[in-house]
Amino acid sequence: MLSDLEVGQSIAVNGACLTVVGRDDESFRVELSPETRRRTNLGRLRAGDRVNLERAVPVGGRLGGHIVQGHVEAVAEILAAEAEGEAVNFWFSVPEGLGPYIVPKGFVAVDGVSLTVVAVNGRSFSVTVIPFTRAQTTLGLKGVGDLVNIETDILGRYVERLLKASGRLG
């Protein structure tokens, strides 16, 4: 993953797009802005904590899921984790102001992992995580009470903004 990572490139850490400011053969360094600290769980991380890492999609590369920018909007709390067969249904709190953008069968990024929303129930929403995803990401290590970074669908936010600007949405 890091073999061709260069200073100045972007890398997502738990879903937050960060700029690489330094690196050596085994690690890289990033800096967190005050805005990133306010909107993410990154400031709570400690040495040794596992994180999800994802490189930027290269131009002409495959887009194997949803459009995830790495622009984390808020932090949510895991309210429940219920096994259903081999899968786990996670329920999360809906962060303030993000309710309209979390829709059933829409997408949400949780710590940078692109997932399909299963249900929305007032101030909570659920996703189902298959065994492969739990094993390959930090979601397999998460439990009730843990905090995760949330990014909603950018397309929905743009549509809302355009409709408001045109006067078609109050």
What are the DSSP calls for 81-144, one per residue?
EEEETTEEEEEEEPPTT-GGG--TTSEEEETTEEEEEEEEETTEEEEEE-HHHHHHSGGGG--T
Q: Cα separation of 51 and 13, whole Å?
A: 6
Average pLDDT of the segment spanning 151-162: 90
**Helix or strand or coil: residue 62?**
coil
Residue carrying the six token digits 């549509």: 159
Question: What is the predicted pLDDT for the residue at 89?
Answer: 97
* 43 and 85 housed in the same domain: no
Residues 40 and 93 in one domain: no
pLDDT of 59: 78
- pLDDT tops 80 at residue 143: yes
For residue range 79-123, list pLDDT tens digits in order: 999 999 999 999 999 999 999 999 999 999 999 999 999 999 989
Residue 27: give the domain boundaries. Answer: 10-55
Q: Are residues 155 and 83 in the same domain?
A: yes
Query: pLDDT at position 56, please?
Result: 84
Tokens of 120: 């929305």
- How many domains, in total, are found in the chain? 2
Pairwise pLDDT comparison (161 vs 80), residue with the higher score: 80
95 and 36 co-located in one domain: no
Predicted confidence band at 3 (pLDDT cuts at 50, 70, 90)? confident
Same domain? For 94 and 24 the reply is no
Q: Taking the model in full, what pTM does it have? A: 0.88
CATH for 127: 2.40.30.20
| Mean pLDDT over the full length of the chain | 93
Q: Do 16 and 89 reside in the same domain of the chain?
A: no
Is 4 a member of any domain? Answer: no
Q: Both 80 and 27 in a single domain?
A: no
16 & 93 share domain:
no
Does pLDDT of 60 surpass 90? no
Pair (125, 155) in one structural domain:
yes
